[in-house]
Amino acid sequence: MIKKINIILEMIKFEHTIFALPFAFLGASLGALVINGSWPTASHWLWITLAMVGARSAAMALNRVIDAKIDRANPRTKNRAIPAGLISNLETTVFIIVSFALLFYSAFQLNMLAVYLLPIAVFFLVVYSYTKRFTWACHLVLGVTIGIAPLGGWVGATGTLTIDALVLFLAVALWIAGFDIIYATQDANYDKSVHLYSIPSYFGIEKALLIARGIHLLSFISFAGLYVIIPMHWIYLIGVLIAGIIMVYEHSLVKHDDLSKVNVAFFTMNGILSMVMLAFTIGALIL
């Protein structure tokens, strides 16, 4: 059983929860201080963390089950756990059920607004995996799906949903959508050949990278906009500036005729960006 669990955790890249978890914490911290005038409680931190782990684990595992046939036919993904026969659909489905149960239970431990909004979160967690079958806007749907993380943190810590939270959601959603476009450039030719939709397969890799830059510019503006609507120390703007520099560097790594550094841009730099934004936002709130 331990071996199977390790295979599943590797399959869903459990360690990459770092992309979304810092923004859930950021949303919780901002919300609690803006709405309640105090930091989130230990209980908030615990149940928001467990809700995030459950949500992301369920979504990633579900994506692997839904895309098993596609992954099997794609040379880049044919060695993933399910296509390679290392884990079965049934075993993965059990993991998905347990992960959703953790999400639901954690939401009930937070507040009723978190519970009422669960169907929306679950809808996007499930539907995202199907969108590449009918729309090149699948990256935007993924952005919305992961952008729910800071909203979940905000709602979990405060039981409210405000304009401030929605601006944070927009910033994160655009950031995620932009780097997902970059990641999808690896499969542009394959997706086009089997009639799967993505911005790189529909518009071409060169135009896709330009679109990703535009989306990341809007994300940068949205992050900066938080400083205007939420009273914070100016050190927050240093974090935003560093995040912007990371985005620029990320784009410098990937060229339309050289995709060899996509994984560095996707995994390493985005993990750093999320931690930078969390650290500087917490610092700004403390100061």
- Over its C-alpha atoms, the chain yields an Rg (Å, rounded) of 19
Whether the CA torsion 225, 229, 232, 233 is positive or negative: it is positive
Q: Which residue, 229, 107, 215, is CA-closest to 162?
A: 229
Q: Please state the pTM of the whole predicted model.
A: 0.91
What is the Cα–Cα distance from 96 to 108, expressed in whole angstroms? Answer: 19
Q: For residues 89 and 68, is the Cβ–Cβ distance under 8 A?
A: yes
Per-residue model confidence as pLDDT tens digits over 152-201: 999 999 999 999 999 999 999 999 999 899 989 988 988 888 888 999 99
Per-residue model confidence as pLDDT tens digits over 213-255: 999 999 999 999 999 999 899 999 999 999 999 999 989 888 8
